[in-house]
Amino acid sequence: MVVIAEALRGQRIFITGSTGFLGTALVERFLRAVPGCELVLLVRPGRRTTAQRRIEREVLRNDAFDRLRLEWGADFDAECARRIRVVGGDVGADGLALDDEGRAVLGTCHAVVHSAATVSFDSPLDAAVEVNLLGPSRIVQTLHGIGSKASLIAVSTCYVAGNRRGRAPELPVFDQPFTPDVNWRTEVTAARRLRADAEAASRMPERLAHFATEARAELGAAGTPLLASKAEKLREEWVGDQMVEAGRSRAGSLGWPDAYAYTKALGEQALLDNRGDTPVTIVRPSIIESALAEPHPGWIRGFRMAEPVIISYARGLLKEFPGIPEGVIDVIPVDMVVATVIDATARACAVATAGEPVPPPTVVQISSGALNPLRYRQLVDLVQSWFTEHPIYDAQDQPIVVPDWSFPGRGRVQGQLERGVKTLARAERAVAKLPMRGAQAQWSAKLEERREEIDRALGYVRLYGAYTETEAVFQVDNLLTRWDSLDEADRTAFCFDPRVYDWNEFVHTIHLPSVVQHARVKMAPSGRSGEQRSTRLRKQVLAPERHLAVFDLENTLIASNVVESHAWLATRRLGPGDRVRFALKALAEAPSLLALDRRDRGDFLRSFYRRYEGAPVRQLDEDAVQLLSDLIISKSFPAGFRRVREHRRLGHRTLLITGALDIVVERNLSPLFDDIICARMSTTPDGARYTGELTEAPPTGEARALIMADYADAEGLNLEESVAYADSASDLPMLEAVGFPVAVNPETRLASIARKRGWLVEQWTKAPGGPRPLLPIGPRTRRTSFLGREGAPA
């Protein structure tokens, strides 16, 4: 008989994967339930953070430690520091990427618990190979390299059994019947070669051109750096998608549900080939879900397999899901898996302490299907009844009625969803080409949101459909033998008997309440007293501690643009007939002007301002005075100008950045802003006429972000504490440069981006009752315009 806490007293346990779901629960349980042990945690450092800092932020601050924090009180930090040692490393690298100190620390450990894994079912093939397949072998090879006799407890998965029917025994996977004969070394070589092939294919000229086109379609005239960055991101995503599909296809061809199960199975094979004299125990859980009791009922970290499907169903997004109604959904609470791992660690340490010979590799499966099965129909009925009693509420504060699920085949559901995604994608592309903005642009955003919802549902079917159709029964003979050998105290402290809980109670009173809490879904009507999300964001934007408020002008503060101001100035001194001809000519040019603006805002401004060539400086200065009342004021958004004044009242610096000309904005708007940055034209040597050429690059795209950075540095301001207002995706660099971006009357692309990123969106409108002339207004005169000859557009 093994007394778990006693067997682990004075032992030092090396743990991988401690920042994950299972790993966090392991660390907490070892610290709380095994007071005599010490832990060494292998953690991959972040780009900007150390391994130690990751443990402090990502693990010890998790609510799993609330119970322990309460028990230890003021001693929590000191006790964690005494019992936890953190070393930087990576199971995806040879030698675990340990330095000399890390190897020395590993050499003092008595057992290694390997829970690190790429757990996503749609991981890129090569990433899953490096971590899931080669990770366990790297651990034993590192142990051999330092002469360590530590035991290895490796966490795998029951689904290494593949898509088989019937019994799945607790045997090494390749000792089981009907397992394909696959050489893991060949699979590693092939996966690495596929990555190289995909990288090479992604850099072919036609492929790069495609990524550039996609980037421009999404961001428009956002500037070369941002477009290049987006194109590179699309290239990387394409390579990743190729590797995901490679993993899915290879796993399916060999009878595994996904790349996770496939690489875990080959990882077991590689481990047994490389283990040498290292004692090995393989623990295979089934689908790990929220805790039954430890550290507290319902504890979960992140969304597991079932949660996104359950929430999508409760929101009415999944009308049906494939599966076999009498099939078993083999779920096991995380605390039972933790107890099984700790028990295996205690047994391994007891054998080593007693000096017994190295035992053969042992496999222990921890699952519920063989002894306490949860049928798919039972789970669906439990979920439906709970959400019928506790519905999620939609944006209109109406309860969502959950549908009755049928149990169709996976192919039918997948086909329906694929057709829905394609139809909505076509509609989305068509709407995106329309010149809509503000509230109208939200139509496109809603289309996109609906398409993403269906695409997400399709992803769930592809990822998890095989698990709802599984007919394997995972045997737990070794598990029960170990359970029977425990005394009553250990059974109470480390329960891993899957027969002890009732599914109705677990699903209704533990799991689903935890799921909706972590999903942060709306479980009650908002009520009038509830603060809207936009109100909260607006309060952040107008907080006194903000430093700088930067505004775009056109379609952000006024419903006008450089074309309209040019038309007003050019035709003000023309008669009605000439203005009609000018307007018709401008309408004919509109499509080409719009196309140029969408390609590159800076090129558009340079080209358009050529129309001012020869314009008299004095005349335009005179006309600009009248422009304020006739165009700017009548086209202004009162809410926008109130926002500028509100920022100034709060002591924020205000800056206007616009591609409009100085003759339009400086004379008329300078009282509103601390500073204005705009486009300026050069004049002839005598200063009498404009040349139509700009004195410097227009402030568009990435130039705006650079201007803002320089301005903030010069004024001692922090852009992270600043606000930016703009209406177009071409202003994305400006919006991304600050901590608090605001999309104002956004056009279609920016509306989509703002929705995805959770930015504040303002819908500002003109004051009602203003003049709405069909043609540019001006006095009744036959004086010559600056267009070059009377009434003739340049």
pLDDT tens-digit readout, 676-686:
999 999 999 99
Strand order in the sheet with 38-43: 84-88, 38-43, 12-16, 111-114, 151-155, 280-285, 362-366
The answer to whether the Cα torsion of 752, 753, 758, 761 is positive or negative is negative
Residue 654's φ and ψ, nearest 5 degrees, are -120, 135
Q: What is the mean pLDDT of residues 713-742?
A: 93
Fill in the DSSP letter of residue 401. P
Joined together, the tokens standing for residue 535 give 């109100």
pTM, to two decimals:
0.77
Does 695 have pLDDT greater than 60? Answer: yes
Give tens-digit pLDDT for 82-110. 999 999 999 999 999 999 999 999 999 99
Q: What is the structure's pLDDT at 137?
A: 96
**Confidence band (pLDDT; 50, 70, 90) for 572?**
low
In the prediction, which pLDDT does 392 show?
87
From first CA to last CA, the distance across the chain in angstroms is 98
Token couple for 276 = 């040498």
416-436 tens-digit pLDDT: 666 767 776 777 666 666 665
Q: What distance in Å separates the CA atoms of residue 20 and residue 8, rounded to the nearest whole number?
A: 23
- Label residues 398-433 b or e (16+ Cβ within 10 Å = b): ebbebeebebeebeebbebbeebbeebeebbeebbe
How confident is residue 47, by pLDDT bands cut at 50, 70 and 90?
confident
DSSP H stretches of helix in 254-280 = 259-274
Q: How far apart are CA 50 and CA 81, in angstroms?
A: 16
- State the pLDDT at residue 15: 97
pLDDT tens track for 591-628: 776 666 666 777 788 888 888 888 888 888 877 777 76
Tell me the DSSP string of 429-475: HHHHTS--BTTTHHHHHHHHHHHHHHHHHHHHHHHHGGGGG-EEEE-
Give the domains, in start order, of the chain with CATH numbers. Answer: 1-180+255-286+330-370+475-495 (3.40.50.720), 188-249 (no CATH), 305-322+373-469+500-526 (no CATH), 537-790 (3.40.50.1000)
d(CA 714, CA 710): 6
The SS3 call for residue 215 is helix
pLDDT score recorded for residue 730: 84
Q: How far apart are CA 791 and CA 485, in angstroms?
A: 101
pLDDT of residue 531: 56
Mean pLDDT of the region 295-303:
87
Query: Tell me, what DSSP letter sits at residue 532?
Result: P
Q: Among 192-196, 223-227, 235-239, 333-337, which is the least confidently predicted range?
A: 223-227
How much is the pLDDT for 481? 95
